[in-house]
Amino acid sequence: MKILMFGRGVIAVAYGWALEKAGHEVEFYVRPGRAAKYGTAIDLELIDVRRRLRGQRVTEKWPVRYRESLEPDHDFDLIVVSVQHYSFAEAMSYLAPRVGKATVLVFNNLWVEPLVAIGALPADQVAWGFPGAGGGFGDDGVLRAALLPMVFLGTLGGPPTERAQAVRTAFRQAGFRTRENTDFRGWLSIHFVQNAGLHTQSLKLGSLAELAKRPRNVREAILATRELLPLVEARGIDLRRHRSEVLPYTAPLWLAAPVLAWLFGHFPPMRTVMEAHANPEELRAVCRDTLAEARRLGVSVPRLEEAEPYFAAD
């Protein structure tokens, strides 16, 4: 399969590397002028958890190919889009007239309605998913990230299309397990508010790494997320269809808080994600957008409101 990773962010690089290792042809689309700045290789320090629970450490200088333009008659089979949620509309605007015959995997955090988010992109060419990876680029340009064994894939109702099945096959051939959900709109909303709940504390403490060190603040993050679940319901989502996703935030606090704190601080792949994350504006934007929606729908979210000084726009 010929694959275009849209952008050169953490997720694009981590999964681009894994898919190329599985035999696919991978390129990156970057903005004009960026290719020369980035150079011909990316330095990787990964924890790859696809085959070992605690992960296999990978240190590699990975040669990559960039392109700074895309014409509608391209021959890519798959375009993978994973950008910050506040940049998604711009990405769709660029891709819509250039998608050609490719399938587009939306591999992205989203808060707006999915079918609205893709704009003029043909819905029958879209597959929906979410990564199980995270990390960040350091000041030295090295990507430090964890690549977890699971990717999340779904539909907006009904079975996967032939295009979506081809996406699933590509990830499975690359050694990933897939977890399915037929209400991916709901899944994305729940994931978004989970992030907002965590960031009420990480922004207050200064980083996700600091949150991982403080079980008391993990407890507060769980409570903040609980307060946000009615917001998800106010958006018309049935939480009963997502019991496993909300369980860490509905389980007894005496159990959930120490388990999550241990995972964040002591399980090497999760600790890498927490320590390497390098985009605080992403965290602030998630909280701002969640609070704006709560106010629009009249849902009380006191812990998120209390944290507003840490994420309010300048």
What pLDDT digit, counting tens, does each position of 77-133 carry? 999 999 999 999 999 999 999 999 999 999 999 999 999 999 999 999 999 999 999
Residues 6 or more apart in contact with residue 214 via CB below 8 angstroms: 201, 205, 261
Which pLDDT does position 278 carry in this prediction?
84
Closest Cα partner for 234 from 301, 297, 157? Answer: 297
Which pLDDT does position 313 carry in this prediction?
87
Closest Cα partner for 155 from 168, 143, 146? Answer: 168
Which pLDDT does position 314 carry in this prediction?
77
Which pLDDT does position 212 carry in this prediction?
87
Residues 6 or more apart in contact with residue 20 via CB below 8 angstroms: 26
pLDDT in tens, 23-43: 999 999 999 999 999 999 999
| Full set of structural domains in the chain with CATH | 2-182 (3.40.50.720), 186-310 (no CATH)
Residues of the chain with confidence (pLDDT) below 50: none
Structure tokens at 277: 């994350």
Element (H, E) at 192: helix 184-205
Which pLDDT does position 53 carry in this prediction?
85
